[in-house]
Structure 1
Amino acid sequence: MTEQRIGIIDIGSNSIRLVVYERTSGGAHRVIDGSKRAARLSEHLDENGALPDEVIQQIVDMINHFRLICAHHKTGLIRAVATAAIRNSANRSHVLERIESETGLAIELISGEEEAGYGFLGMINSMSVTDGLLIDIGGGSTEVSLFRNRSLVEAVSFPFGCVSLTRQFSKGGMLSDQALKELEQLVEQAVQRQPWLKQSPGLPLVGVGGTVRALGKMHQAYVKYPFESTHNYPLTGEAAGELFELLRKLPIGKRKNFPGLSKDRVDIIVPGLAILRTIFRAVGASHYLICGTGLRDGLFYATRFPDRPRLDDITMYSVNNLAALHPEAPMQHTAQVNRIVLQLTGLLKARLSDGDNAMLFIDIASTLHRIGAGIDYYDYKRHTFYLIINSRLNGLSHRELLICALIASYKSKNRTKQIAAYYRPLLSEEDIALVCKLGTLLQLAIALDRSETQAIGKLEATESDGKLHLRAVRASGALGVEHKEVDSISDDFKKLWGLTPILYSPEQR
């Protein structure tokens, strides 16, 4: 039984989107539906800068369609916002009145600064970056913000976007050298009027929105990147520049077939990337970071948690959220394994090359190691691996996400090497060695609660003479199952750690 469903409708300049969020009875949040319709509203402004009635009717029809989807899901609250195209239209009052009277929905016309704020909230709740510049290139506006220590410092909304500048500078989807020069000049002059933008060189430029996501998808396809997610994908200025020049030279007919580029973005991608590159150079950014969240996510957090929309610990929030989405996993057993493995990792930390990060990795892996059992118990490790790498665990790089997934699903050193081979550019030999060590440590913690009864009330762990002494200070029962399980993995454990684990029942002290 769900407790709450929230629909977010974003009436943007390039597209109109719906996302339906659900809060499950276990307290987890997830997206249960979504829809997108290309709109190109900035393209349809007439010579007076007004949106024609037939275009307004199309918006009304789309929103009524989205309302039906929300009704189907019994959505308790729908929040609809309009951005640059309606904000900049000469007849915006008429547009809003018609939409509201014909859909029954109140439409919030948000300012450029508010748009930047919601975009920032969506990003900061999904990435662990501390300082940087944030850019969101929409169809009719471009928001740029500066953040320091994970707080918004400055924000500006420029009155141009990929659709409006395509209309202004592009002929048949192509951008000539002269047109590119004029476009860059327009963007540079806008940046010059905001002196703070040039006062923080050397920071990453974090990008949200369709233009930047398309850049990430195309680059991943271009270099045959082995990991599918573009969220948290880093990109150098040179790599983006190379791709930009390649796309700019391609005729529209050929550009349509460029891997990773969606058909409805073929004509606007080059002007969009031109805006991005010009701002990147003007602010002296170090590199790009692509973010898969943005305005709609920010609106969700602001609506769902109005008092404290910014999350304190984005990584553990998303880990616990993912665990709560898979309530079939035995919670008491998972909590016991988590407690034991953190205790053991703390004891053996000095034997690890990356001790501090190891604590985080093992915490995540042990919390999620059983989520795959909801699909099929007999092959749950394979399903756990798949679920972790395909669920957005925020605040982790692609490498860190893979490490956590491999530890959580660890079976043997050989199997780990086989899987890691596919992701070779992302994982080093040291990473694989760390996975194997932490994977066997997780197996030991699972063995210490093999009966899944939390029989060991308190564990004392010490190491001496090549042995890992595990003393159950308080225990209910004889721990027969646990003894057998610890014995069965002791050889593998010794090979990796140089220690033989020995379990002592309370009477063996």
Structure 2
Amino acid sequence: MSYLAIVDLGSNSARMVVEELHDDGTHTELVREKKDTRIAQNMGKELLLKEEPIARTIAALKYFQSKYIDFHPTVRAITTAAVRMAKNQSDFLERVRRETGIDFQVLTGDQEAYYDYLGVVSTLNVNEGVVLDTGGASVELIAVNDGQQEAAVSLPFGAVTLSENFDLANDIASKNIDAANTYILSNYDRLFWLAQQQQKPVILLGGANRSLARMARTKLGENEISLIHGFEMSVNQVEQVFSEIRKMTRSEREKVVGLEISRADIIVSGLLPLLNLMRKINSPKVIFSESGVREGLIAETLAQKNE
């Protein structure tokens, strides 16, 4: 028996889990923590991580350490799009090492997509579809056929960056949504393999997509709105939820049950990658997954442990 702590620094939030790894190849989650760090905030066209988000992030990492230190775990720390793109990446990572002792691995877009794929196929009985992981500063798309990854890509936009670049945080003008849609589709149009994914379901990861599931489950009168793993929605249900929230002011969105207040400024932008993907491939439904990069890392660690 051993312990594994995974620290996942995304562009919008930081997450940490502690897993007890059993000799029979199974694992048990002991601790799960999340902090809204939004490291990608105000990076701008200069692609520089700013002091306030950095300070928030380091405080969150120190808090995570206080929660896992007594387990004496192996620590795997990974970070994704915002840090991957940042021109001051080296300075940031060195400061984190100096102040916390945590040594982060910066995942490439391909690595992030692969771990998403591993996390999904190891926990959901999905044989085909397009996995969409919407993060704060990137989206990952993975085509799955016969349970195998056929194609994958990481695109350089996400809920935070779309919100900032197209003014989608507060009272939202239709022309701004149209401009964001045009930009997203211009990226999708370059993916020749999407043409082979017609009529397939979209498997959803990422905070904005989890919020969509919780809002939908609230509308359906479900008691446990956070139990979303394997939950399905039709394209019409997705469009209906989006149509309702895009007409709201930010203060109105902050009161929507199932939507975290901290996501009220990025939920409209965060759902645009999904809406455009569903329309492009004529997808009939979405399937939500709670498992992504972190679960992919766990699956890889267990496989290596048992070799």
TM-score category by the smaller chain?
over 0.9
Q: CA deviation at 1:163?
A: 0.6
Matched, 1:141 2:138: yes
Residue 216 of structure 2: aligned partner: 219
Match status 1:266 vs 2:271: no
Deviation at 1:26, TM superposition (A): 7.7
Deviation at 1:28, TM superposition (A): 4.6
2:4–2:74 contact (8 Å) kept in structure 1: yes
Give the match for residue 199 of structure 2. 202
- State how far apart, in whole Å, the 2-side matches of 1:5 and 1:307 are: 12
**Within-5 A mapping of 1:75-90:** 75-90=72-87
Provide the rounded CA distance (Å) in 2 between the counterparts of 1:255 and 1:308: 47
Q: Residue by residue, what CA displacement relative to the aligned partner does 1:249-290 show, whole Å, maximum 9, x if unpaired?
A: 112222222121111111111111122101111122221111
CA distance, structure 2, for counterparts of residue 293 and residue 117 of structure 1: 13
Q: Structure 2 CA distance, aligned partners of 1:184 and 1:46?
A: 20
Question: Larger relative contact order (C-alpha < 8 A, sep ≥ 6)?
Answer: 2
Shift of 1:39: 1.4
The alignment status of 1:158 with 2:155, answered yes or no, reads yes
Shift of 1:23: 2.8
Residue pair 1:169, 1:175 contacting (<8 A) in 2 also: no
The runs of at least 4 consecutive aligned structure 1 residues that moved more than 6 Å come to none
Match of 2:41 among 37, 40, 43: 43
Measure, in 1, the Cα distance between the counterparts of 2:168 and 2:156: 21
Larger radius of gyration: 1
Q: CA RMSD in A?
A: 1.9
The number of aligned residues is 306
Instruction: Give 3-state SS (helix, strand or coil) of 1:288's partner.
Output: strand
Structure 2 unaligned residues grouped into runs of 5+: none
1:197-220 per-position Cα deviation (integer Å, ceiling 9, x unaligned): 122201110001111111111001
Q: Secondary structure at the match of 1:40?
A: coil
Q: State the TM-score, normalizing by the size of structure 1.
A: 0.58
Q: How far does residue 40 in structure 1 lie from its aligned partner after superposition? A: 1.5
- Structure-1 separation of matches of 2:63 and 2:246: 36
Deviation digits for residues 28-57 of structure 1, max 9, x if unmatched? 521111211111222231552211344333
Unpaired runs of 5+ in structure 1? 310-509
Among 2, 6, 9, the residue aligned to 1:8: 6
Counterpart CA distance in 2 for 1:183 and 1:225 is 33
Q: Distance in 1 between matches of 2:209 and 2:44?
A: 28
After superposition, the Cα gap between the structure-2 partners of 1:176 and 1:137, relative to the gap in structure 1 and judged at 3 Å, is same
Mapping 1:262-341, distance limit 5 Å? 262-306=260-304
Identity, in percent, stands at: 28
TM-score, structure 2 as length reference: 0.94
* Amino acid in structure 1 at the alignment position of 2:253: R
> Equivalents in 1 of 2:223, 2:59: separation in Å?
40
Deviation of 1:187 (Å): 0.6
> Any conservation in 1 of the 2:41–2:50 contact (CA below 8 Å)?
no
Alpha-carbon deviation of 1:25?
7.5
Partner amino acid for 2:21?
R
Partner SS for 1:42: coil
Structure 1 or 2: larger helix share? Answer: 1
Give the letter aligned to residue 114 of structure 1.
Answer: Q
1:43-101 alpha-carbon deviations (Å, 9 max, x no partner) = 231552211344333322322221221112x2320100010010111111111122123
Q: Does 166-175 or 206-215 show the bigger shift? A: 166-175
Q: State the alpha-carbon separation in 2 of the partners of residues 236 and 293 from structure 1.
A: 21
- Counterparts of 1:226 and 1:131, CA distance in 2: 30
2-structure distance, mates of 1:85, 1:305:
29
Q: Check the 8 A contact 2:169/2:266 in 1, yes or no.
A: no
